[in-house]
Structure 1
Amino acid sequence: MLIGYARVSKNEQNLNSQTDALKSIGVQKIFVDKISGVKSEKPELNELLKFIRKDDTLTVWRLDRIGRTTVGLIQFVNELNERGIHFKSISENIDTSSASGKLIFQIFCVLAEHERNVLIERTHAGLKSARARGKNGGRPKGLSEKLKKIAPLVKASYNSKDLPVEEIMRAFNIGSKTTFYKIVNS
């Protein structure tokens, strides 16, 4: 059975071109979300995944309707494959029920892995270059000089128990409780 999924980002947007394309190739049931692709929770896609069965084909108009990143899309299609469900994209002409469609999808997988490896290499090169110039990444260890200077006053205010923590934080312009308690426990 061909099961369709269509998605637009906003309620005002029109789904007709997607649903028409899905119906034109024989899709029998279409699930529709009107939600941004950035949102990980897509209620109708979740319903579709509960409904779809082994040997069915999840069909979309374009790949970006199902996933925003190549890695996420590959992961999604691999999960379908493990359940014995095929995947088809009309615009990109991918159909994992055929040998050629599987090949194209595997090429996407290889390209995504290459992209990830290049990004890792760049990150490592950038960190190495920064270290060579005396820069170390990450958060500074311990308290800043400014916080070290006010620490005795903050501790005294806290230990006096005259003021609530929030008031002490406001008085000394301390932005978070985590920072406040680092000062108190230093």
Structure 2
Amino acid sequence: MAIIGYARVSTLDQDLTAQLAQLNAAGCDRIYKEKASGVKQDRPELAAMLDYVREGDTVTVCKLDRVARSTKHLLDIVDTLEAKRVTFKVLNINLDTSSPTGKLMLSMLGAIGQFEREMMLERQREGIQLAKDAGAYKGRKPTAREKAADVMQLLSEGLTKEATAERLGIGVASVYRIAKDARTTATLPTSI
């Protein structure tokens, strides 16, 4: 049964000193630390810590935003820890999932996160509808499909799909899709 700490700052010029001091004061046996953006998907130290912890351990962080990008991400992390029978503690809000109160706080955070997400989506839908009603919202232009004739011309001239995409400023996947559509309508030989 170990106390495992996790410390993170968002940029290379930020300092971990304050978090490390708090985690050491909390009795952490081992501390994983990294300098990485919270929105960045790849955080190797977080992944290593989640892999390392064992039943009976406690993961301790100074603040929620140091470990998770969003409420959903936090709940995913806590689910991973609970599956391993690992307790989760947050020092600045005194959250401890080993207690009923801590579990309640976490559930409330999850509910609030879900509510915020649904409200944001509702406001987004309302804004799009208002823009459509005003004639200001047309949606995303299908830029690649508009260039289908150019794609087919360049391919017939012998350009690779990658070179065609680069020349026209569209994605390679779009070039493949246009070529495939052309083959199925039999307007192009299958060698392209």
**Is the pair's TM-score, using the shorter chain for normalization, greater than 0.5?**
yes
Q: Distance in 1 between matches of 2:96 and 2:86?
A: 11
Q: Shift of the alpha carbon at 1:141?
A: 8.7
Residues 169 and 180 of structure 1 are in contact (CA less than 8 Å); yes or no, is this contact kept in structure 2?
Answer: no
Q: How far apart in 2 are the matches of 1:115 and 1:157? A: 48
Structure 1 gaps of 5+ residues are none
- What secondary structure is seen at the aligned counterpart in 2 of 1:116? helix
Deviation sequence 1:52-88 (CA, Å, 0-9, x none) = 1112110001111101212211221122122211111
Q: Work out the CA distance in 2 between the residues paired with 1:128 and 1:6.
A: 43
Equivalence for 1:69: 70
Query: How many angstroms apart in 2 are the aligned matches of 1:42 and 1:22?
Result: 19
Distance 1:118 1:181, change over 3 A: closer
Deviation by residue 1:21-57 (Cα, 9 ceiling, x = unmatched): 1111211211111222222222222221222111211
- 1:127–1:137: 8 Å Cα contact kept in structure 2? no
User: Is the contact between residue 6 and residue 32 of structure 1 (CA under 8 Å) also seen in structure 2?
Assistant: yes
SS in 1 for 2:108: helix
- Among 154, 164, 174, the residue aligned to 2:168: 174
CA–CA separation in structure 1 for the residues paired with 2:83 and 2:177: 48
Q: Which residue of structure 1 lines up, in the alignment, with residue 139 of structure 2?
A: 137
* CA distance in structure 2 between the aligned counterparts of 1:31 and 1:107, rounded to whole angstroms: 27
Give the 3-state SS of the residue equivalent to 2:65 in structure 1.
helix
Name which of structure 1's ranges 174-183 and 117-126 shifts more when overlaid on structure 2: 174-183
Aligned AA for 1:78? D
Number of matched residues? 176
Between the aligned partners of 2:70 and 2:57, the Cα distance in structure 1 is 24
Structure 2 counterpart SS, 1:6: strand
Aligned equivalents of 1:48, 1:157: Cα separation in 2: 50
Corresponding residue of 1:126: 127
- 5+ residue gaps, structure 2, are 188-192
> Identical aligned pairs, as a percentage?
32
Report Cα offsets for 1:114-173 as digits up to 9, x if no partner: 1111123223333444554565534449854xx59xx4x8766754x4x6468x969xx7
The letter of the residue matching 2:43 is K
Paired position in structure 2 for 1:21: 22
Is 1:102 the counterpart of 2:96 in the alignment?
no
Structure 2 distance, partners of 1:119, 1:80, is 29
CA contact (8 A) 2:151 2:178 kept: no
Which 4+ stretches in 1 moved above 6 angstroms? none
Question: TM-score by structure 1 length?
Answer: 0.75
Secondary structure at the residue paired with 2:39? coil
Change (3 A) 1:42 1:156: closer
